[in-house]
């Protein structure tokens, strides 16, 4: 019996590309937390993040045979997830939400801002860039490949987003 837990990621990718569902499941188990964390920071609600991850993973499973460079698997699946998050965000009705915790809202007005609330004030693309860079540790070039941007653009957008976060949090 094959041990999917001890296999290298490249071996699992190659097996998954040949149709081995257990190998893909092993890949998913290794990357799920990163995918969910990325989606959660991109979307506003945990359920939306879970839905985006599920849909992205299904799309990745159905299209893994199209992956040309096995070494780019993580960038590839994050690109799928980023695109899925964008689609979901476009379809979410724009409504004014009541604060979940009015006491926290009052505290925000008193000058104490929650980091997550500040993060959600960034536009969608900047949230993705900051989440990939700061939370997941991806380099500007990798993020650029995921989002179809020049690495210099990624760096400048990240710098502006970080400045905006500092201004909100101060």
pLDDT at 160: 95
Cα–Cα distance for residue pair 5/61, rounded to 1 Å: 18
- Concatenate the DSSP letters of all residues of 80-132 into one string: HHHHHHHHHHHHS---PPPPS-HHHHHHHHTT---HHHHHHTS-HHHHHHHII
- 3 state DSSP class of 96: coil
pLDDT tens per residue across span 98-144:
455 545 554 554 444 477 778 888 888 898 898 888 877 889 998 88
Domains in the chain, please, with CATH?
7-95 (1.10.1740.10), 103-170 (1.10.10.10)
User: Do residues 122 and 161 make contact, with C-beta atoms less than 8 angstroms apart?
Assistant: yes
**E strand or H helix at 35, and its extent?**
helix 21-42
pLDDT tens per residue across span 1-31:
455 555 789 999 999 999 999 999 999 999 9
Cα–Cα distance for residue pair 88/20, rounded to 1 Å: 29
Q: Which residue has the tokens 């590309």?
A: 17
The torsion angles phi and psi of 129, rounded to 5 degrees, stand at: -65, -50
Total Cβ atoms within 10 A of residue 97: 7
Cα–Cα distance for residue pair 128/123, rounded to 1 Å: 9
pTM over 0.85? The answer is no
């Amino acid at each position: 019996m094959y041990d999917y837990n001890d296999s290298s990621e490249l071996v699992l990718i190659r097996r998954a590309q040949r149709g081995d569902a257990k190998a893909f499941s092993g890949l998913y188990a290794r990357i799920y937390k990163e995918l969910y964390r990325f989606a959660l920071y991109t979307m506003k609600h945990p359920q939306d993040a879970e839905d985006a991850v599920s849909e992205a993973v299904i799309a990745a499973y159905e299209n893994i045979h199209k992956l040309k460079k096995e070494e780019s698997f993580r960038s590839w699946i994050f690109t799928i997830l980023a695109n899925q998050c964008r689609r979901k965000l476009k379809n979410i009705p724009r409504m004014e939400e009541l604060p979940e915790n009015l006491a926290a809202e009052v505290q925000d007005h008193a000058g104490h801002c929650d980091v997550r609330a500040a993060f959600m004030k960034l536009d969608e693309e900047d949230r993705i860039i900051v989440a990939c860079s700061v939370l997941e540790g991806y380099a500007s070039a990798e993020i650029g490949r995921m989002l179809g941007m020049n690495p210099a653009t990624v760096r400048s957008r990240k710098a502006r987003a970080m400045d905006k976060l500092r201004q909100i949090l101060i």
